[in-house]
Structure 1
């Protein structure tokens, strides 16, 4: 149900990000199957299920989800995200309050602590150490056939490595309490311990500047609370890190085993770790949900390796996917248009109200000109005078469309003198003026016996603001119209249509339900 809702919201609202609001017992996980050879698991908790929306991940309808070629028509699963997903693993009002407070606090944060990045590596009892893995993140690397950038020099990157002398958990607790922006970690972990810290130790955290964490360790992100021995316990430690009053505002971690290499740094988990920070600082993808998905898609060329597939499934974001990792230094000048809100549908000659949120992320007071643009034409402007640093302000525009059409609305902050960060100066949305009929879902049997009638059902929705009659719905098989019906749908409602079809030749068929455009309907994709 939840995934189907996300699919509908993606198709009809154009959503880009999804925050799953609840722990596993509230928003259940989908467990994926991977057989590595020596190890196999049929229940790897993976929120990728809510991000990649084509197919079911179980085309053969057995008990194993996410098998190779379990996608549509027995092809590879959809591994490219339509939306970017994070999870707020909360199961109480206190946890929800903590999660929201820390997320908002980070978004408003500034100051010296944003300079501080800490690489944390422990003794692995391997031929290499955790610090060897972390150096590739810190400095960038072209090892093992791919290249990723390091942490920019604008940040103050420090290390805490066992290879330099075994460190105690009190040291990482002190680092967190004194303010650290990013913590990147490599070591053996478990459901209830990470960085030598246990769930019980989190009571010793007192930081009011919250950090972003990334760890390659095993089971630290097991949000179904399953331990490596198959038993179940309390919430995993990464859940507690983001839902207690202190600690992290977001964390990326493994729900099952992390994967390293005994003799070198060519571990599968390292691949995703490197690609994540390359997304942040090499590709300038600062939204943590988008960067997490990018780290996976940049690794998809290796998906035939079952260990890469295992990591692809198990790496989950515990945090708001829209949060952008901040620069080390607050820019002198930076105006952001953070959002735009308008009705999705309208009518000709009826006024539409549009509101946008503008934020001064720079250090200086600015005079900001805000333009309202419709289909690339500026139709109105307003001036925000003397906008102080760290001020968020809403601006309103009224607009009256004169004809049925699909309109692109843009709110654009003109560059202020000296502004160099310009990719966040606009926000866009689409308004459909006139009729909008859509096929919102189709349900077909995966198999119909020869010369036996099968039933195909579809839901047709009228998202427009006018009642529509004589809507022709076509039933198409392999590109040929086999049948059609005429329906009437009131505004904001839907109807179900059913077609009966009897295949007479054995084979694989492409079934399409098509709503023919009604008069003056322009949004027909």
Structure 2
């Protein structure tokens, strides 16, 4: 047996470096400042599509998606603004010489988003053509290399979101100009936002956890020091009284006792309250606004981080919001994001017209708050029996000894789009790196390469009854069917351990019905003792691209699993919300808005604090010719541990930390219990 000296290492790759410098006095007599950041970019890569167009991509960049317009790579830059300041202007200049890329190319264009709903096999309206006003132009596209997306407020700190385009395209000539490194400058001036003046925004939080979240979210965390003098003012002080808030109906409250006790045993301070008490004690136009105002109070005064809405919409209200894409417009898409993002009223545009979440519904005419203060999930329960099932499955998912992660990937034939057969399996392929990097095994249900069903409800049941931990579905659905299963088929589930279910299909998570039956996504969680312990699904339509199936809904799904499996986002609420915030630079404010639609519609039907334990990497350096070293890590006092290396349970090297004393295995590991011994396994990387 060889013992290793193990140290936890954190590695980060910087792509933007930021600084602020003073500028001249502005015309109003206040002091203007320039916040600068330098962005460096990898060399562009090109893929020739079947129609002869070239798709351009750059590592670390998203791609713009506007119908008929060139698809251009951009990076989302997040700059923390100084206290009491507003954006006054933007500029951008090359740090390194621009490069004219060789060749004349026709860059691919954005297409009509497609609906992931029934029926499939429909013909597509042939509106997918290049916009002649753009493609016949000799002007650069985009015209500016930097644009302001919005100013968001997280935990009381204002963050400017920018899109930075390293490549500009002259469509008529096919000429592409690449800037390897650019300096982006944001001019800010003294002033308060309309939201702050109206007292509808939260004060800057002085809590360490909030400041750490802000620091991790921006490209210029050093600017946080400017908030030092005000961090303890207002109500957002440095202490937290509660970590976790449960809101339900009084008749259901005691049924959650086991879940409350479990979170308490894990060190969380839990606060419970009832909708009856909240609606009688807090102001608001309706019960949803009263609940949001209560959550704001709980976050600001108590430091709450997780919120479980303990009921279906007949128990705990929801907020219907505005959404538009293609020919579909709604003002009532159910969205629990309203209870997570706590700045502003979400109905400031149009004089408070009762249509919530419009792109101009932020205070001052900007966008609504899209960065969360709390992580929200919903238990879609309405009876004591449903609460008991929800709690039992949640606890089972958290206390089971978890071995190597098993995943089920279910991909459906989607449609015939623009001369190609779109396949859900092509979108699910993008999840494979995260699964491989977390040493997860995947079983497939896959219609590829054909257009007929290669699997049906029987195969789906068999796959789910093998008790995978993760299920990812990419295909068509509606309120009553998902993964080719109807509600009655769920009675045939026998999986021993509950799974986490994520579907990109339409309406599977339509949780806004006041009357039975509940949506299929809800029923996976509450119908019986099998099935899912949590579901992530769309409350309305899901969206894909006929040429690149993973776009739109699939990108959110990928960000979720990347964060959950390899990004250290172990809790479902955190992984769910931060996946959305990974995509925030793509959220539209006009035209077709599929990214915005997904941002509001994807819903977590489960406990936001529930975790998925994933083996984490331990990096260590082995001195030459060394055979044994001292091992140090956080452990229980007076516990005896042994450390050994094994390859018997994984295809690659692992380290096993074993103890016969610790009763609860640490998070972010998987365990294998042998007698009275709990063995916690970690992935390793050895350096010599």
- TM normalised by structure 2 equals 0.47
Match of 2:410 in 1: 120
Q: Is structure 2 residue 330 aligned with structure 1 residue 41?
A: yes
Deviation at 1:151, TM superposition (A): 4.3
Q: Is structure 2 residue 591 aligned with structure 1 residue 317?
A: no
* CA distance 1:359–1:25, shift in 2 (3 Å): farther
* CA distance 1:250–1:44, shift in 2 (3 Å): same
Within 5 Å, give how 1:21-40 maps onto structure 2: 21-40=310-329
Q: Is structure 2 residue 361 aligned with structure 1 residue 79?
A: no
Match of 1:387 in 2: 661
**What is the alpha-carbon root mean square deviation over aligned residues?**
3.1
Within 5 Å, give how 1:68-467 maps onto structure 2: 68-112=359-403, 114-126=404-416, 127-139=421-433, 149-152=434-437, 154-163=439-448, 166-225=454-513, 234-243=517-526, 244-304=528-588, 306-327=593-614, 366=641, 387-390=661-664
| Structure 1 Cα separation of the partners of residues 380 and 634 of structure 2 | 29
Q: Is structure 2 residue 332 aligned with structure 1 residue 58?
A: no
1:274-323 per-position Cα deviation (integer Å, ceiling 9, x unaligned): 11112113321111111111111111111126111111000000011111
Contact 1:258–1:269 (Cα < 8 Å) also in 2: yes
1:51-93 per-position Cα deviation (integer Å, ceiling 9, x unaligned): 0000111013102110012012222100000000000000001
| Structure 1 Cα separation of the partners of residues 402 and 681 of structure 2 | 20
1:8-38 per-position Cα deviation (integer Å, ceiling 9, x unaligned): 0000110111010000111111000022241
Deviation at 1:330, TM superposition (A): 12
| Structure 1 Cα separation of the partners of residues 462 and 376 of structure 2 | 31
Helix, strand or coil: the match of 1:308? helix
Contact 2:616–2:682 (Cα < 8 Å) also in 1: no
| Structure 2 Cα separation of the partners of residues 24 and 38 of structure 1 | 28
* CA distance 1:206–1:329, shift in 2 (3 Å): farther
Q: Is structure 2 residue 297 aligned with structure 1 residue 12?
A: no
| Structure 2 Cα separation of the partners of residues 225 and 125 of structure 1 | 29
Deviation at 1:267, TM superposition (A): 2.4
Contact 1:124–1:130 (Cα < 8 Å) also in 2: yes
Match of 1:340 in 2: none
Helix, strand or coil: the match of 1:312? helix
| Structure 2 Cα separation of the partners of residues 252 and 72 of structure 1 | 30
Match of 1:413 in 2: none
1:184-213 per-position Cα deviation (integer Å, ceiling 9, x unaligned): 000110001001111111111122201001
| Structure 2 Cα separation of the partners of residues 208 and 85 of structure 1 | 27
Helix, strand or coil: the match of 2:293? helix
Helix, strand or coil: the match of 1:296? helix
1:355-393 per-position Cα deviation (integer Å, ceiling 9, x unaligned): xxx899xxx9659xxxxxxxxxxxxxxxxx96244379x
Contact 1:365–1:389 (Cα < 8 Å) also in 2: no
| Structure 1 Cα separation of the partners of residues 407 and 393 of structure 2 | 18
| Structure 2 Cα separation of the partners of residues 14 and 161 of structure 1 | 45
Contact 2:346–2:362 (Cα < 8 Å) also in 1: yes
| Structure 1 Cα separation of the partners of residues 301 and 426 of structure 2 | 47
| Structure 2 Cα separation of the partners of residues 209 and 82 of structure 1 | 32
| Structure 2 Cα separation of the partners of residues 86 and 110 of structure 1 | 24
* CA distance 1:93–1:233, shift in 2 (3 Å): closer
1:314-335 per-position Cα deviation (integer Å, ceiling 9, x unaligned): 000001111111226999x999
Deviation at 1:137, TM superposition (A): 1.4
Match of 1:399 in 2: none
Contact 1:119–1:159 (Cα < 8 Å) also in 2: yes
Structure with bigger RCO (C-alpha 8 Å, 6+ apart): 2
1:412-440 per-position Cα deviation (integer Å, ceiling 9, x unaligned): xxxxx99979xxxxxxxxxxxxxxxxxxx
Q: Could you list the runs of 5+ residues in structure 2 that have no partner in the other structure?
A: 1-289, 619-630, 643-658, 667-678, 684-688
Helix, strand or coil: the match of 1:26? coil
Deviation at 1:178, TM superposition (A): 2.1
Contact 1:268–1:308 (Cα < 8 Å) also in 2: yes
Within 5 Å, give how 1:488-499 maps onto structure 2: none
Helix, strand or coil: the match of 2:386? helix
Aligned length: 342
Contact 2:347–2:356 (Cα < 8 Å) also in 1: yes
Q: Could you list the runs of 5+ residues in structure 1 that have no partner in the other structure?
A: 140-148, 227-231, 338-357, 368-384, 393-416, 422-525
Deviation at 1:111, TM superposition (A): 4.4
Contact 1:239–1:318 (Cα < 8 Å) also in 2: yes
Deviation at 1:216, TM superposition (A): 0.3
| Structure 1 Cα separation of the partners of residues 352 and 512 of structure 2 | 23
Structure 1 residue runs of 4 or more that deviate by more than 3 Å after TM superposition = 328-331, 333-337, 364-367, 388-392, 417-421
| Structure 1 Cα separation of the partners of residues 455 and 322 of structure 2 | 37
* CA distance 1:336–1:389, shift in 2 (3 Å): farther
Helix, strand or coil: the match of 2:536? strand
| Structure 1 Cα separation of the partners of residues 518 and 614 of structure 2 | 32
Helix, strand or coil: the match of 1:234? coil
Contact 1:115–1:328 (Cα < 8 Å) also in 2: no
Deviation at 1:241, TM superposition (A): 0.6
